[in-house]
């Protein structure tokens, strides 16, 4: 269970970091890099989500888990990463529009 928990935290944290790197690339006008980093962030979220889903499926099948604070933290960490990634994706799209309106593309 600990391996699963730390996998969720690790993948979620990596996704979050990549999303922020993507936003920084967008602010610098490198939208190709921003898009690539967001794809990587999405893959990391996908890996974390697979781990989360496998746990949910196991529990739905009758397996019992002791839910500790660290598991709750992992869930919170993943949901925060997902929300921030989504927000940063929208901010990147806004940056693209701003640049286009300024005539820099």
For residue 52, give the nearest of 104, 102, 3, 5 by alpha carbon: 5
Please tell me the distance from the alpha carbon of residue 102 to that of residue 105, in angstroms, as a whole number.
Answer: 8
> Catalytic residue at 11?
no
Q: How far apart are CA 91 and CA 87, in angstroms?
A: 6
Of these residues, 11, 49, 73, 77, which one is catalytic?
73
Residues serving a catalytic function are: 73
């Amino acid at each position: 269970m600990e391996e699963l928990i730390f996998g969720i935290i690790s993948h979620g944290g990596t996704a979050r970091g990549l999303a922020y790197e993507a936003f920084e690339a967008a602010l610098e006008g490198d939208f190709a890099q921003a898009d690539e980093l967001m794809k990587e962030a999405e893959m990391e979220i996908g890996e974390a989500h697979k781990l989360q889903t496998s746990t949910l499926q196991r529990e739905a099948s009758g397996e019992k888990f002791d839910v500790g604070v660290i598991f709750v933290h992992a869930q919170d960490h993943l949901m925060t990463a997902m929300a921030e990634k989504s927000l940063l994706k929208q901010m990147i799209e806004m940056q693209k529009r701003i640049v286009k309106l300024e005539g820099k593309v």
